[in-house]
Structure formats: structure tokens, C-alpha cells
Amino acid sequence: MADIEKEYVLGSSDREVARLAFQHEVWAEVTAGLFRTAGVSYGHTVADLGCGPGFVSLELARLVGPEGHVSALDASDKFVSLLSSRIDSLSLDNIRVSKGDVCSLNLESGSFDFAFSRWLYCFLKEPEVAALEAHRVLKPGGKLIVMDYLNYLSAGIFPGTEVLNSLFTGYMKTVNEHYGSYNIGGILPSMLAEIGFEIESLEPIVRIARPGENVWKWVEFFNELSVPALVENGTWTEEHREQFESEWSSAKETPGTFFFSPPMIGIVATKLH
Ligand SMILES: C[S@@+](CC[C@H](N)C(=O)[O-])C[C@H]1O[C@@H](n2cnc3c(N)ncnc32)[C@H](O)[C@@H]1O
């Protein structure tokens, strides 16, 4: 288990927790839309797999109410302990969190109405094993809800430069080196169909943001944590990073500049039997 925690490319520093909190704010409405499409509501049982510090798990607990239940699970000791403290401080009794591996769930078969994973599958070495486990713990007719990256390299800063847009190839390379893929959303629907899910809904999720807008701040927060890693892992030199920082500052002052976000896919798939 310790290895899984180490393998999660973005780590679990306090800044990563703050980044995940802000990221949740930016994408909460889109996530809630997926829950509406899937029909998550009062009294349901939901597994939040790869829950991180549990920002969505807590919203799910509110959505399913006292007659429902949320089981949140993550590989990170720190994230599990943060969510556990939050559950205690709010005295919630319809949610529990445990440390675990999504590829080998310590959850009962056929026990959930819904399983949810946001930005999990892109980090997994064996996504099909995790999908099989999600299938196992769902009731027949239960639904898997996934939100993840698709066609990542179509993201960009416009007007861009080679150095500015080498950001996205750099991030793609980093996640690939950790056995993940920011193109996982293109593979998941057929993989789920093969496993025994019926694909109910596939939704594109993409935004355009100008400097200062939330989605722009979202990529800047990601850069704060991940650009230094590009230098550390040898993808960029220090000079490349300096040129990037200078071009990024200029881009923000250029009227008409915008960020086209890495596209994501929202998937709702029903377990057939
Ligand atoms: C980008 S975070 C997303 C967290 C949360 N789903 C959200 O949307 O805020 C990815 C999470 O996946 C977890 N993770 C990665 N591999 C895992 C595995 N094999 N088993 C359980 N959790 C895993 C990481 O610890 C991390 O918390």
C-alpha cells in the first residue's frame, strides 16, 4: 500500500490538498451534473473510489442523506486521515472512509447503488482491474460514474508558443512515466462495455478561460506544484522553465489570450448483471 501512495504522481503535500480543494470548487458543478444524470439521490449507497481528501465524498453524504451511505476509499494515509477528522468534526454517521487500493477493494460485492471516481483512472497502471472491482461492488443495475481526462494534448494557451505549450507534453510524459495516461477517457467506455457495463451517457467536459478566471487559476495552481517537477525529472532545463515563466507572464497581459482546458469525459455506465 505504501508503494501505491508513493506512485501517485502529485503526492499529498499540504499544497496538494489545497490544490485539490480549489480544483473541487472549480469542477463541483460539473460533477453535480453527472450525479443528476446518473440519478444519485436520497437513500442511495455510493462508493467514492480514490476519494482524495474527500471533497466529493462529503457532498455525496449530503446528497444521499441519513438513510443513504457513502464509503470513501483512498490509498493515501494523509488523505484518509484528513477526511476521517472532517467526518468526526461534523459528527456524520452516513459516511465512512478507509485506506485501500482500488484494484483490490475491501468492500462487499453487490452492495452499492453507485460507484464514483474522479481523476483516478488516469493515474492507474491497471485501470481494467479497478473497473472490474467497481463492477464487483455494484449491485446489478448499479451505476459507475467516472470523470477523467481525454485527448489531453488538445489543451493549450492561445495564442501559444512552443515553450508555453510544451507544458502539456511535459505533464503527459510525467504521468506516462508513472504508468498513467491523461488519454484514459478514450479507452474507458469500450473497456467498461467489455467488462459488462452498458454505457448510458458520455459527456464532453471542456472549458475556455481567460487570465484571472477560475479555470485559468486552476491550471496556474497545477503549474505551481508540477512545473518544478518537470525540472526535477529532467523533462525541462532550468532555462526552459525560466523562459516558460516569462512567456506565461506576457501571455496574461496579451489581450485575447485564453486557455483551452484539457478535455475530460463524464461517463455513466450501468452494471448489467
Ligand atoms: C487527483 S486525486 C483525485 C481525488 C478525488 N477523487 C477528487 O476528485 O478530488 C487522485 C487520487 O487517487 C488516489 N489513488 C491513486 N491510485 C490509487 C489506488 N491504486 N488506490 C486508491 N487510491 C488511489 C490518490 O491517492 C489520490 O487521492
Pocket test for ligand 1, best of 34, 120, 129, 205 (most atoms within 8 A of CB): 120
**Which residue in this structure is represented by grid cell 504522481?**
9
Q: Is 122 in the pocket of ligand 1 (CB under 6 A)?
A: no
Q: What span, in angstroms and rounded, lies between the C-alpha atoms of 116 and 134?
A: 9
Q: Is 74 in the pocket of ligand 1 (CB under 6 A)?
A: yes
Beta strand segments in the chain, E = 45-49, 69-74, 95-99, 112-118, 138-149, 156-158, 197-205, 208-209, 258-260, 264-271
Write the single-letter amino acid at 197.
Answer: F
CA 10 – ligand 1 centroid, Å? 10
Asked if the model's pLDDT at residue 8 lies above 80, the reply is no
pLDDT of residue 12: 84
Q: What span, in angstroms and rounded, lies between the C-alpha atoms of 139 and 51?
A: 20
Write the single-letter amino acid at 149.
Answer: Y
Q: Which domain CATH number covers 118?
A: 3.40.50.150
pLDDT of residue 67: 98
Quick check: helix, strand or coil at residue 43?
Answer: coil
Maximum Cα–Cα distance across the chain? 57
201: left (phi over 0), alpha (psi -120 to 50) or beta: beta
Instruction: State residue 52 phi and psi, 5-degree precision.
Output: 60, -145
What residues does 114 pair with on adjacent strands? Answer: 46, 143
- Let me know if 74 is exposed, middle or buried by CB neighbors in 10 A (0-12, 13-18, 19+): buried
Please name the helix (run of DSSP H) or strand (run of DSSP E) that holds residue 104, with its range, or none.
none
Q: Tell me the pLDDT of the chain averaged across its residues.
A: 95
- Let me know if 151 is exposed, middle or buried by CB neighbors in 10 A (0-12, 13-18, 19+): middle
pLDDT of residue 1: 46
Mean pLDDT value across residues 170-194: 95
Using pLDDT thresholds of 50, 70 and 90, give the confidence band for residue 273.
confident
Q: Is 8 in the pocket of ligand 1 (CB under 6 A)?
A: yes
pLDDT of residue 39: 98
Number of neighbours of residue 34 by Cβ within 10 angstroms: 20
pLDDT of residue 10: 78
Nearest to 263 by CA among 184, 216, 193, 204: 204
Pocket test for ligand 1, best of 6, 8, 17, 137 (most atoms within 8 A of CB): 8
| Structure confidence by residue, pLDDT tens digits, 47-71 | 999 999 999 999 999 999 999 999 9
Mean pLDDT value across residues 121-149: 97
178 or 201, which is more confident? 201
pLDDT of residue 113: 98
Asked if the model's pLDDT at residue 272 lies above 70, the reply is yes
- Show the domain range for 154: 2-271
**Cell triple for residue 3?**
508503494
Asked if the model's pLDDT at residue 168 lies above 70, the reply is yes
| Structure confidence by residue, pLDDT tens digits, 236-255 | 999 999 999 999 999 999 99
Q: Is 54 in the pocket of ligand 1 (CB under 6 A)?
A: no
Q: What span, in angstroms and rounded, lies between the C-alpha atoms of 175 and 194?
A: 25
Asked if the model's pLDDT at residue 149 lies above 90, the reply is yes
**Cell triple for residue 126?**
491497471
pLDDT of residue 178: 86
Q: What span, in angstroms and rounded, lies between the C-alpha atoms of 150 and 185?
A: 5
Q: Is 56 in the pocket of ligand 1 (CB under 6 A)?
A: yes
Q: What span, in angstroms and rounded, lies between the C-alpha atoms of 172 and 149?
A: 11
Residues 6+ apart with CB under 8 A from 219: 209, 259, 261
Using pLDDT thresholds of 50, 70 and 90, give the confidence band for residue 7.
low
| Structure confidence by residue, pLDDT tens digits, 202-245 | 999 999 999 999 999 999 999 999 999 999 999 999 999 999 99
Q: Count structural domains, the chain.
A: 1
CA 42 – ligand 1 centroid, Å? 25
Mean pLDDT value across residues 178-188: 95
| Structure confidence by residue, pLDDT tens digits, 106-130 | 999 999 999 999 999 999 999 999 9
pLDDT of residue 2: 44
**Strand pairing class (264-271; 197-205):** antiparallel
